[in-house]
């Protein structure tokens, strides 16, 4: 019966130390990591101060100051940081809040919801699921059928007009008499409007 003890001794010598480095250490950062990352330096160059403040520092633009608050064109609203499509103009409604409001998402998982207890309130923060940009908050007082109100900062959004998304159609519908009148044939500086 003494043979069993030998087996016991042999298994003891297996190396066990290799395991520790193969495990992903997921909880090292307090902040969640996102599929798309940008350097803060890059974002500071690329975004306006307000866009940076809102998306990266969870800021909020003043009510009725955002460029998309009363924006009614047809198209898609995208994340200003990474370009992910977030909302459709079809779900935009006038909430009277002073911020762009939507009653639904374009894609269920395009926005991440997290509890936000800042300012002594409990709100649900909305964040771009791709890059983690702060967008705004979600409330439960929206119109039917969803009953939801995504209250989003204009500074978090970019806009893609519907026309640009579909196959390019030549601008033929406008009246053809608009050509005359431009006497000065000088260089029309294509000044890009900067904010």
151 is catalytic: yes
| 105 binds Zn ion, rule: CB under 5 A | no
Q: Closest separation between CB of residue 55 and Zn ion, Å?
A: 8
Choose between 85 and 143: whose C-beta lies nearer to Zn ion: 85
| 79 binds Zn ion, rule: CB under 5 A | yes
Size of the site for Zn ion (CB under 5 A): 8
Choose between 79 and 151: whose C-beta lies nearer to Zn ion: 79
Choose between 31 and 144: whose C-beta lies nearer to Zn ion: 31
Of residues 89, 91, 126, 130, which one binds Zn ion by CB under 5 A? 130
Q: Which residues contact 106 (CB under 8 A, 6 or more apart)?
A: 76, 85, 86, 87, 88, 91
Measure CA 43 to chain center.
14
Choose between 133 and 155: whose C-beta lies nearer to Zn ion: 133
Which range in 23-31, 128-136, 145-153, 166-174 contacts Zn ion by CB under 5 A? 128-136
| 133 binds Zn ion, rule: CB under 5 A | yes
Of residues 78, 81, 152, 157, which one binds Zn ion by CB under 5 A? 81
| 47 binds Zn ion, rule: CB under 5 A | no
Binding site for Zn ion (CB under 5 A): 79, 81-82, 84, 128, 130-131, 133
């Amino acid at each position: 019966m003494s043979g069993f003890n030998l087996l016991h001794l042999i298994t003891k010598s297996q190396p066990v130390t290799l395991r520790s480095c193969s495990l992903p250490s997921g909880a090292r950062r307090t902040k969640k990591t996102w599929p798309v990352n940008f350097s803060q330096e890059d974002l500071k160059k690329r975004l306006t101060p307000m866009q940076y403040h809102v998306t990266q520092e969870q800021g909020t633009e003043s009510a009725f100051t955002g460029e998309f608050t009363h924006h009614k064109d047809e198209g898609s609203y995208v994340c200003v940081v990474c370009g992910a499509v977030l909302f459709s103009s079809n779900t935009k409604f006038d909430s009277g809040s002073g911020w762009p409001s939507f009653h639904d998402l374009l894609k269920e998982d395009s926005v991440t919801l997290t509890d936000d207890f800042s300012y002594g309130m409990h709100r649900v923060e909305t964040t771009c699921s791709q890059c983690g940009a702060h967008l705004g908050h979600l409330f439960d007082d929206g119109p039917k059928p969803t009953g939801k109100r995504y209250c989003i900062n204009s500074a978090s959004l970019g806009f893609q007009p519907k026309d640009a998304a579909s196959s390019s159609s030549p601008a033929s519908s406008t009246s053809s008499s608009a050509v005359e009148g431009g006497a000065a044939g000088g260089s029309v500086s294509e000044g890009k409007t900067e904010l």
